[in-house]
Structure 1
Amino acid sequence: MIRRLDLRTGTPVWMAYRAPRVPVATLSRDMKTDVLVVGMGISGAMIAEALTADGLDVIVIDRRGPLKGSTPATTALVQYEIDQPLTLLSRKVGKTHAQAAWRRSRVAVANLSARLDELGIACAKTPRPSLLLAGNVLGASGLRDEANARREAGLYAEYLTAGQLRDRFGIERDGAILSPDNLALDPRKMTAGFHLAAIARGARYHAPAEASAFRSSASGVEVETSQGPVISAKHVVLATGYELASVAPAKGHSVISTWAIATRPQKQALWPSQAFIWEASDPYLYLRATADGRVVCGGEDEEFQDEDARDALMAAKTKRIAEKLGRLMPHLDVTPEFAWTGSFGTTATGLPIIAKIPRHPRIHSVMGYGGNGITFSRMAAEIIRTDLAGGRDADAALFAFPE
């Protein structure tokens, strides 16, 4: 059984832009396949595309349908910079492990960009630098140490003093780290593009179809659905986002609520290079611009309790985010034209879990996306693809289930 959650409320800005339709069929009979992917969101799309590219027969199911879960709720800052700063992550998992995770994140963003180009997916993809601003977690001296740690790991990082930050970006903070080559994109268009590529290779899509039980054997997995039919697969990939399947261990995984707004288009008022901006703070503010000049800004994260409590905070959180954005960028019109809230999973380290479920060696689970969901989804597609091809991804151990 998959845990049911109301993953978002309000109207995400991405609903203003038309995404391609992803066709689905009714699940009306028992079926067999090489791989069953559960979930038609960002992770499910990338995984289905990667596996069909290897010639595998793939079925994808979702209890809602394509792009209808948390996919539209993302603010789509596709960064290799993990939520957990490298210096802090090193204290949690060790320096070698932390450096490897950051480097893999960098590779994942580059690979995602290349794959979008190869497939010709039109999703307003644009390279963007990012600015990490000094805050209550890392001040100016902490950011200097962070920049040094990134350079030691082989990652480019430019430390900006308060004066340099003011002169180049017009932002008043004690310091910042400038990093290149992150990606701005439309997440719904991207996700639809990956799904359509998988369908073009023969993947079968069924919705609404809900996985209700999993029976593992040495040769495969039988998945019962709430609709009645049973799907027999050699392998199963759970790409259900923050709605965890009962078969997947929840240890180390928690669900967080976040809120976001988007302004009217105002291209002439945007900051230099339209860099992603986020804070080394807890909670932190993050913002980016859309292709048509809207400013998307989010934050005010809180531990998830229930949907009603989360939704009751919408008005207050929307006002607070707009006020924070106004203080950071006083020249902008910060009036929200869109406002929404959603949930995301995270782990104690901030790293995702991409691994076979203990005692279920034919079921992979992708969990704990944090603020780098799209980047981690790319990692998952690569790691799972290698595993099902009979190999062993060099970084797979970084993302194992906690002991």
Structure 2
Amino acid sequence: MHLQSGYPYSLVKYGLPNDYPKLGSDLRTTVTVIGGGISGALAAHALVQAGIDCIVLDARTAGLGSTVASTSLLQYEIDVPLTRLIKQIGRSGAERAYRLCAASIGELEAISRRLPGVPFDMKPSLYLASYKKDLPLIEAEHKARRRMGLDVLLWDADTVKHTIGLDAPGAIYSRAGAQTDAYLLTHALHRYNLKKGAQVYDRTLVTDIRTHKKGAVLTTAGGYTVQTKKIIVATGYESLQYIREKVVELRSTYAVASEHRETATAWYENCLI
């Protein structure tokens, strides 16, 4: 599966901030995290903070999967709008999901502040309606988000045009948002976790997982084993190989980075869009 192509911006700018060994012996641990990208690094960080010993294994060079191609825009919106999610799982569960996503931005800021060299900027966010037919959704979303306590404003077409210079029939302006660099944050987390006792191995492909009553035994392509009580799968899109049911349909997305351009209208509060 090709998670990226071309030259990811963060890799070009920062190269390899850290290197990690391949697994070269049999090991035993409490928790094994499969995947050394941003999700795996954050999972390992939570474990070491709780005093739980763990090992991180990545088939690639750490961070060079989907993490290095991430836009690193932190917005609390998930793939399903709040109003639609309420219909699917009920108001309590839907609002809890959105509330947790919004709270996680502040938690990530707190983590990043403790790690040297990681850029992290709190920014507002703009959720645009692409067409007039999207306005009812935008209006309903604004109402639902306000009802659950999120700090949002409803912008009409004139406000969008005069504030940020874009042609859109409407938008939701949110106070909660941020931007970081997931690739740098990943390596900073690994460095922190290593100092706290975690172990990180990349270029170490897990080829077999055999479970038993007390845990599991992982076998790598190099023939080494890891005996573990628990497994956390943090391999992003590639986690589908561990799920028997077809629960998603993958589609291609694109992220493009460019040089900064001066425009006639100033970028309002440097917000995310």
With structure 2 as the length reference, what TM-score do the two structures score? 0.93
Root-mean-square deviation over aligned CA pairs: 1.9
Deviation at 1:244, TM superposition (A): 2.4
- Note the alpha carbon deviations across 1:166-195, whole angstroms, 9 max, x for none: 222122211111001211111211111111
Tell me which residue corresponds to 2:100: 104
Tell me which residue corresponds to 1:47: 43
2:243 equivalent among 244, 248, 251: 248
- The whole-number CA distance in structure 1 between the counterparts of 2:60 and 2:95 is 38
Question: Do the aligned residues in 2 keep the contact of 1:156 with 1:179 (CA within 8 Å)?
Answer: yes
Deviation at 1:250, TM superposition (A): 3.8
Tell me which residue corresponds to 1:142: 137
Alignment map for 1:70-149 (pairs within 5 Å): 70-117=66-113, 119-136=114-131, 139-149=134-144
Question: Do the aligned residues in 2 keep the contact of 1:213 with 1:223 (CA within 8 Å)?
Answer: yes
- Note the alpha carbon deviations across 1:46-68, whole angstroms, 9 max, x for none: 01111111122111111112111
Tell me which residue corresponds to 1:395: none
- The whole-number CA distance in structure 1 between the counterparts of 2:56 and 2:107 is 23
Residue type of the alignment partner of 2:129: A
- The whole-number CA distance in structure 2 between the counterparts of 1:212 and 1:250 is 20
- The whole-number CA distance in structure 2 between the counterparts of 1:35 and 1:240 is 15
Deviation at 1:128, TM superposition (A): 1.1
- The whole-number CA distance in structure 2 between the counterparts of 1:233 and 1:137 is 54
Tell me which residue corresponds to 2:167: 172
- The whole-number CA distance in structure 1 between the counterparts of 2:186 and 2:253 is 21
Determine what percentage of the aligned residue pairs are the same residue.
31
Q: Tell me, what secondary structure is at the counterpart of 1:213?
A: strand
Structure 2: runs of 5+ lacking an equivalent: none
Q: Tell me, what secondary structure is at the counterpart of 1:105?
A: helix
Instruction: Tell me: CA distance 1:249–1:22, structure 2 relative to 1, closer, same or farther (3 Å).
Output: farther
Tell me which residue corresponds to 1:207: 202
Deviation at 1:94, TM superposition (A): 2.2
Question: Do the aligned residues in 2 keep the contact of 1:79 with 1:183 (CA within 8 Å)?
Answer: yes
Count residues in correspondence. 272
Question: Do the aligned residues in 1 keep the contact of 2:131 with 2:168 (CA within 8 Å)?
Answer: no
Question: Do the aligned residues in 2 keep the contact of 1:19 with 1:189 (CA within 8 Å)?
Answer: no
Residue type of the alignment partner of 1:29: S
With structure 1 as the length reference, what TM-score do the two structures score? 0.64
Question: Do the aligned residues in 2 keep the contact of 1:31 with 1:230 (CA within 8 Å)?
Answer: yes
Tell me which residue corresponds to 2:29: 33
- The whole-number CA distance in structure 1 between the counterparts of 2:244 and 2:89 is 20
Tell me which residue corresponds to 1:284: none
- The whole-number CA distance in structure 1 between the counterparts of 2:132 and 2:26 is 53
- The whole-number CA distance in structure 2 between the counterparts of 1:86 and 1:73 is 27
Residue type of the alignment partner of 1:94: G
Question: Do the aligned residues in 2 keep the contact of 1:19 with 1:188 (CA within 8 Å)?
Answer: no
Residue type of the alignment partner of 1:32: R
Which shows bigger deviation, 245-254 or 194-203? 245-254
1:21 equivalent among 1, 17, 22: 17
Tell me which residue corresponds to 2:151: 156
Instruction: Tell me: CA distance 1:259–1:247, structure 2 relative to 1, closer, same or farther (3 Å).
Output: closer
- Note the alpha carbon deviations across 1:277-306, whole angstroms, 9 max, x for none: 1xxxxxxxxxxxxxxxxxxxxxxxxxxxxx
Question: Do the aligned residues in 1 keep the contact of 2:40 with 2:234 (CA within 8 Å)?
Answer: yes
- The whole-number CA distance in structure 2 between the counterparts of 1:137 and 1:211 is 49
Tell me which residue corresponds to 1:368: none
- The whole-number CA distance in structure 2 between the counterparts of 1:218 and 1:194 is 32
Question: Do the aligned residues in 2 keep the contact of 1:131 with 1:179 (CA within 8 Å)?
Answer: yes
Q: Tell me, what secondary structure is at the counterpart of 2:236?
A: coil
Alignment map for 1:226-237 (pairs within 5 Å): 226-237=221-232
- The whole-number CA distance in structure 2 between the counterparts of 1:263 and 1:152 is 38
Structure with higher strand content: 1
- The whole-number CA distance in structure 2 between the counterparts of 1:100 and 1:156 is 15
Structure 1: runs of 5+ lacking an equivalent: 278-403
1:9 equivalent among 5, 13, 23: 5
- Note the alpha carbon deviations across 1:368-401, whole angstroms, 9 max, x for none: xxxxxxxxxxxxxxxxxxxxxxxxxxxxxxxxxx
- Note the alpha carbon deviations across 1:87-134, whole angstroms, 9 max, x for none: 1222222222211111111111111111111x2343221111111111
Residue type of the alignment partner of 1:236: I
Higher relative contact order structure (alpha carbons within 8 Å, sequence separation ≥ 6): 2
- The whole-number CA distance in structure 2 between the counterparts of 1:46 and 1:161 is 38
Instruction: Tell me: CA distance 1:245–1:33, structure 2 relative to 1, closer, same or farther (3 Å).
Output: farther
